[in-house]
Structure 1
Amino acid sequence: MNIKLHKTLKTSVKAAIIWFCVSSGTVISQTLPVSSNLITFNSKEGEKLLIQSRAREDFFPLSMQFITQNNQAFCGVASSVMVLNGLGILAPETPQYSPYRVFTQENFFSNEKTKKVITPEVVSRQGITLEQLGGLIASYDVQVKVYHAADTNLEQFRKIVSENLKQPKNFVIVNYLRKEIGQEKGGHISPIAAYNEQTDRFLIMDVSRYKYPPVWVKAADLWKAMNTTDTTSGKTRGFVIVSKVN
């Protein structure tokens, strides 16, 4: 790559990172301590990993839609809202923003199909499983593919997700057990925004922004955290791929 062009791209990405950190509050939020196996996005090292990444197509659209889950059980809902807005899917009517439309955690369940999967009241009490996550998102005009960790392996996960992150107009949401990556404590759901091949790390855009900042996690650690059993479903956690209908 031309050196001048490389410097220009690097400067552009750096500017985008600064804007993202300030607008999302990741610089000043009072989050829990992060274990040494993780790299926070708003650190110098975390910024460098994004600049070096060749699989970051999802970072910019997700950063534009980055939100905090409304309650401690709505991680799947918040992640779904980010992805649907990132894809530009026609959203339900939103009276407070009329005539404009946007997906919110409040109107996400206005589609009657979602309530056939699970109601917002139940989600508020117990969260959702990987299959329920896929079913909720699929109730809108998108393609969804659900991958349980037990049906794949680390190499397949790394290849599928890293390749996806090189392409626009599709997103990855992961369902994992926090304690397996050194966090507190139970199952969680958030989108993946980028992959750094040199360090073999994925960037999790954690929607519980009051608790943890976005972090870079080793692929093997994330895989281990997904390859755990969800006691509600009796199946392993995993990931979903969401894309526009062709």
Structure 2
Amino acid sequence: MTEAVRTSHRRPLPSTCTALTHKEKPTTSFFIFQGPCCFWKNALPAMTETAGTFHRRPLPSTCTALASKEGRIRFKSALAQNYLASFFPLIEQFTTQSDPAYCGISTLVIVLNALSVDPLRVWKGSWRWYNESMLNCCVDLNEVKSTGITLNTFVCLARCQGLKVELHRPSNASLDDFRSSVRRVCLETADEGEDDDGPPTFMVVSYSRRILGQTGDGHFSPLAAYDASSDEVLVLDTARFKYGPHWVSLELLYAAMLPVDAATNMSRGYALMSYPGRREGDRGTPDLPQSILFRSEKLHDAARCRYNFFLGRRRQERGGEISWEEVLDYWTRGGTENEFVWEILQPQLLPSMKENEGVVKSLDEVKRVRELLQQMLPVPPLAVSGCCQNKDGSLCLNPLDAVFIIFLASLSQQRRQEIVMDTKLSTSVEARYQLLAEAHIVQLALDYCDADKEENSCCMLNSR
């Protein structure tokens, strides 16, 4: 494409409108929401039989509907205590999951859009916006419709999109720890004089519905508010065809995280999620940045696991750092094949908007760093002459690009930094950090493959 297609990621509200998330409180005690579920639809043909189908479920006595009288009292109490920090940005994006097994996928979409993360991909028309179909880097969405996802896979998907995620399970987080985390994410502090420009943090809970007296079992939901008077939390249930938003005892919800998930043989838990990005001057941050070079999908699991097994066996037999020649030999099959590496990595899609010119510039710098580093390494002609992948609008990267990133990912962090940072190369520091980030993402993919192979692994590569 000679000219990038112009797309947009949201629009600023005009001066005639006030965002629901604005820190100024309304002067009245009433809030008016135009819910995302209000819509027109065509009349459906009459059903001749409704046996075996359902139109919602009544909430059990353990839960209090948000729209009920008691639910509104709790909401008013939470508002008075400033425990609605998560509610406003989440309710703006609250939506119903499009499939009965998509609770985890839909919950993550709500959080990503509430955090204003730009997917760098077009949803419809000229708009870049997250929807469920975009979250396919760690999972096969057709399989998810049958099995759902585990908590580890949910965390993987979140990190793939650049989120910082703190995962907690009851084994390492007590009831008091859970309550403290709930208070932290729900408490509004901007009016107390603190800077409200920092990234918000949201909580997503993975729990068993059975413990709450609801039908079904494993489920994901974002928590939107906390009422200290009743010690209850507001659950935004994405399965709105089944249950609406409701209040539930914090202690009971903690108990609902205790049962072991048969798919992982581990308890469920909760995740604290934010999107701080790469902050200037904070190079030690563990946040996973966005990959601008490569992407990976579920179909790459087997190749990742095989290479991870190769690395483990090599460390046991020989010890020390793996060499460039060994990695190159593996991914070119002894110098006889230059397409094998595409079984683990695929080039990212080309940016499709002018607003992403900064990413393109950064990509150019990263490529310059890689090319300079490769001058230090012996490269056989076959790997160099490999044709680049430029299919379906993807970046033009040759096999050696991918092999070099995998080589860095196979090293210890210390050795990796020595190669990238301690060389006399005339390139920007930012480009070097991005190169380290690319290798770090691949390293995490390999680590998760080893840790989660009982649940078909989980890639950590950014899919955007």
TM-score by length of 2: 0.46
After the TM superposition, list the runs of 4 or more consecutive aligned residues in structure 1 that deviate by more than 3 angstroms: 22-25
Q: Give CA deviations for 1:89-109 in whole Å, capped at 9, x if unaligned.
A: 1114225231x2110012232
- Of the three residues 227, 230, 240, the one matched with 2:258 is 227
- For 1:70 and 1:170, locate their aligned partners in 2 and report how far apart those are by CA, in whole Å: 25
TM-score by length of 1: 0.86
- Of the three residues 63, 71, 93, the one matched with 1:38 is 63
Q: Give CA deviations for 1:176-196 in whole Å, capped at 9, x if unaligned.
A: 000101100210001000000
Q: 1:65: which partner in 2?
A: 93
Q: 1:162: which partner in 2?
A: 183
Q: Give CA deviations for 1:51-77 in whole Å, capped at 9, x if unaligned.
A: 211211111111110111111111000
Q: Is the CA contact (8 Å cut-off) linking 2:135 and 2:157 kept in structure 1?
A: no
Q: 1:196: which partner in 2?
A: 227
- For 2:263 and 2:171, locate their aligned partners in 1 and report how far apart those are by CA, in whole Å: 16
Match of 1:88, SS state, is coil
- What RMSD over aligned residues (CA atoms) do the two structures have, in Å? 1.7
Displacement after TM superposition at 1:164 (Å):
1.4
Match of 1:206, SS state, is coil
Q: Residue 24 of structure 1 aligns to which amino acid in structure 2? A: C
- For 1:45 and 1:97, locate their aligned partners in 2 and report how far apart those are by CA, in whole Å: 42
Displacement after TM superposition at 1:10 (Å):
7.1
- Of the three residues 104, 107, 118, the one matched with 2:131 is 104
- Of the three residues 203, 211, 236, the one matched with 1:180 is 211
Larger radius of gyration: 2
Where does the alignment leave 5 or more consecutive residues of structure 1 unmatched? 1-7
Quick one: structure 1 residues 95 and 85, their matched pair in 2 at CA, closer, same or farther if it must change by over 3 Å?
Answer: closer
- For 1:67 and 1:23, locate their aligned partners in 2 and report how far apart those are by CA, in whole Å: 7
Q: 1:148: which partner in 2?
A: 169
Displacement after TM superposition at 1:119 (Å):
2.2
Q: Give CA deviations for 1:143-200 in whole Å, capped at 9, x if unaligned.
A: 0111112221111101112211115611110000001011002100010000000000
Q: Is the CA contact (8 Å cut-off) linking 2:123 and 2:130 kept in structure 1?
A: no
Quick one: structure 1 residues 37 and 101, their matched pair in 2 at CA, closer, same or farther if it must change by over 3 Å?
Answer: same
- For 1:68 and 1:215, locate their aligned partners in 2 and report how far apart those are by CA, in whole Å: 15
Name whichever of 167-176 and 228-237 sits farther off: 167-176
Displacement after TM superposition at 1:215 (Å):
0.7
Q: Residue 219 of structure 2 aligns to which amino acid in structure 1? A: H
Note if 1:237 corresponds to 2:264.
no
Name whichever of 41-50 and 211-220 sits farther off: 41-50
Displacement after TM superposition at 1:78 (Å):
0.2
Note if 1:11 corresponds to 2:39.
no
- For 1:124 and 1:76, locate their aligned partners in 2 and report how far apart those are by CA, in whole Å: 11
Q: Is the CA contact (8 Å cut-off) linking 2:36 and 2:94 kept in structure 1?
A: no
Q: 2:37: which partner in 1?
A: 24
Where does the alignment leave 5 or more consecutive residues of structure 2 unmatched? 1-24, 39-54, 189-198, 280-464
Quick one: structure 1 residues 96 and 23, their matched pair in 2 at CA, closer, same or farther if it must change by over 3 Å?
Answer: closer
Note if 1:93 corresponds to 2:121.
yes
Q: Residue 239 of structure 2 aligns to which amino acid in structure 1? A: S
- Calculate percent identity across the aligned residue pairs: 30
